[in-house]
A and B are shown apart, each in its own frame.
Chain A
Amino acid sequence: MYDTSDFRKGLRVEIDGQPFIIVENQFVKPGKGQAFCRVKLKHLLQGNVIDRTYKSGEKVAPADIVEKAMQFLYINDETYHFMDNSDFEQFELNKDQLGDNWKWVQEGMVVDVMIYKGTAVSITVPNFTALEITYCEPGVKGDTATNATKPATVETGAIVNVPLFVNQNEKIKIDTRTGEYVERVKA
């Protein structure tokens, strides 16, 4: 069990049977009165934020959550399969659970899989990844100065806006946090 003196940003706790992460923690002690911790908590699966106040010293259970590095294996019927390389245990997630991350996972990629009570619930992908463009309009030579972009489909099926000079079959680096094109990757 944690008590309020363990509270800090990033601590994962279980409240009313649900997993939350502390996003803000404020210590409040009025005058000669008892001390409190006021915390903002984000639901680890649903993302909603709640506000709770704890009397100093109150106990809170840790959330039964672990994060493991796993390799992406394959997609089957919109189900994404991952494997823990240390013990070869496999986990699966559906496309909804991946959120926007479905756009970036490719064979062999190592991602962090969050496991809540033994079940995989979400993944975190590396901040940058390189993907090949499988389709886009032909490039405009020499047009490197303007900010104009065009849509390009990459190997995972995601669509990314790229500068006009970029061509089909080229590899591009993408910031997975924003989904934005960063640069061309030389073969």
Chain B
Amino acid sequence: MSNWEPGASIKVLHERSTLLQKIRKYFSDQDILEVDTPSISKFPTIDEHIDSIEVYLKSQKTPSYLISSPEYHMKRLLCFGMPSIYQICKAFRKDELGNYHNPEFTMIEWYQLGIDDYQLMQATDKLLQHVLNTAPAEFITYKALFLKYLNIDPFNLTQSKFLLCCQESGLTPSKDLMIKNCRIEDQLNFLMGFYIEKKIGHQKPVFVYHYPANQSALAKIDPMHNQVSQRFEVFYKGLELGNGYHELQDYQVHLSRFESTIKKRKDSDQTDYQIDYNFMDALKHGLPHCSGIAIGFDRLLMIKTGIEDIDKVQSFSSKRS
């Protein structure tokens, strides 16, 4: 079958262009600087469930990586003294392919100096109102969300409660989630992805905040409740649109989180990743107080156009590239 034609129609490609312009104008009107960082990095992102795509520059033995996010490079710019910045760039993730995923996608990454997660949620809400004409968003904690939709406390989930909850909600969990001693965060992510996500944000965007501390990624732990992190996600029309943090600044905490993630990857036979020492050196120099968010641009366009297949909003998705 010939695949030379784009997945998106000419009309959608026009809308893509208009949306990009609108977002750029929004940022420039607020004096947030656009930056441009590399797509190829010597080090991968250290994330338990993200695999970076390897590339070989020259015939060297060790691979470089296509960035799965511009986070480390952008934070290095902040450490160097740049003001609030954003970027619209391509990000790459191995094996992520589906109606809402393509291994190469367009990401909006934004860091705002001097604000916390609550303020960034407000700022992101304004951005969504501006570019998608959404109604003012709702805000709910991770715990309240699970209680509301599944009547379970995510900080107190037992194996039998999980299985009962799956049965009542008509879900068949994968085998690894049914064995004893499986990790609660995997079970919670399963319930989030298969059940809750589909049900929320149909009228207006929903910001879910205070993710459990063991899902903090690079967010700070809340100083008032050490069970929760200052990480949030935003959902709209059943789709996850963005993921934000009150950014972790401490060098030592970064190091121990990276080491623990690398250990988890090793324990589950995943590719062994090295810590990015350029990023660590920058952190040693000092990351200013800030909050940051990554937003999936293709998904914004999917919502804007009402199209439910990412292949139909990109020019050439991996099926056609």
Interface contact A31-B101, CB-CB below 8 Å: no
User: B176 on the interface (CB 8 Å rule)?
Assistant: yes
8 Å CB contacts to B: which residues of A50-68?
A: 51-56, 58
Interface 9-residue window, one of B19-27, B191-199, B274-282: B191-199
Contact A35 B49 (CB under 8 A): yes
Most chain-A Cβ atoms within 10 A of its Cβ — which of B47, B49, B96, B172? Answer: B49
Closest to B216 in A: A32
User: In this complex, what residue of B is CB-closest to A33?
Assistant: B189
* B181 located at the interface, meaning its Cβ lies under 8 Å from any Cβ of chain A in the complex: no
Q: Note all chain B residues with C-beta closer than 8 A to A28.
A: 98, 193-194
Q: How far is the CA of A52 from the CA of B240 in the complex (A)?
A: 23
In the assembled complex, the Cα of A134 lies from the Cα of B10 at a distance in Å of 57
Q: Which residues of A contact B233 (CB under 8 A)?
A: 31
Q: Which residues of B contact A29 (CB under 8 A)?
A: 49, 96, 98, 101, 193
Question: What is the number of contacts between chain A and chain B, taking CB atoms within 8 Å?
Answer: 78
Q: Are B49 and A32 in contact (CB under 8 A)?
A: yes
Knowing A27-B98, A29-B96 are in contact, say whether A36-B172 is a contact too (CB < 8 A): no
Instruction: Determine the interface band of chain B, counting residues with CB < 8 A from chain A.
Output: 20 to 34
A-facing residues in B187-227 (Cβ within 8 Å) = 188-190, 192-194, 197, 215, 217
Alpha-carbon separation in the docked complex, A27 to B48 (Å): 18
User: Which residues of B (222-256) have their CB < 8 Å from a CB of A?
Assistant: 233, 240, 243
B98 touching A53, Cβ below 8 Å = no
Residues of B within 8 A of A27 (CB): 96-101
Inter-subunit contact A33/B101 (CB<8 Å) = no
Q: Are B95 and A56 in contact (CB under 8 A)?
A: yes
Of the listed residues B96, B172, B174, B190, the one surrounded by the most CB atoms of chain A closer than 10 A to its CB is B174
* Cα-based distance from A27 to B190 in the complex (angstroms): 12
Question: Considering the complex of A and B, which 10 residue pairs feature the smallest CB-CB distances, nearest first?
Answer: A27-B98, A33-B189, A30-B193, A55-B174, A30-B189, A53-B174, A30-B192, A28-B193, A34-B49, A55-B176
Instruction: Point out residues on A near B: beta carbons under 8 Å.
Output: 5, 26-36, 38, 51-56, 58
Task: List 12 A-B pairs, Cβ < 8 Å.
Answer: A27-B98, A27-B101, A28-B193, A30-B197, A30-B240, A31-B233, A33-B186, A33-B215, A34-B189, A36-B193, A36-B194, A56-B95
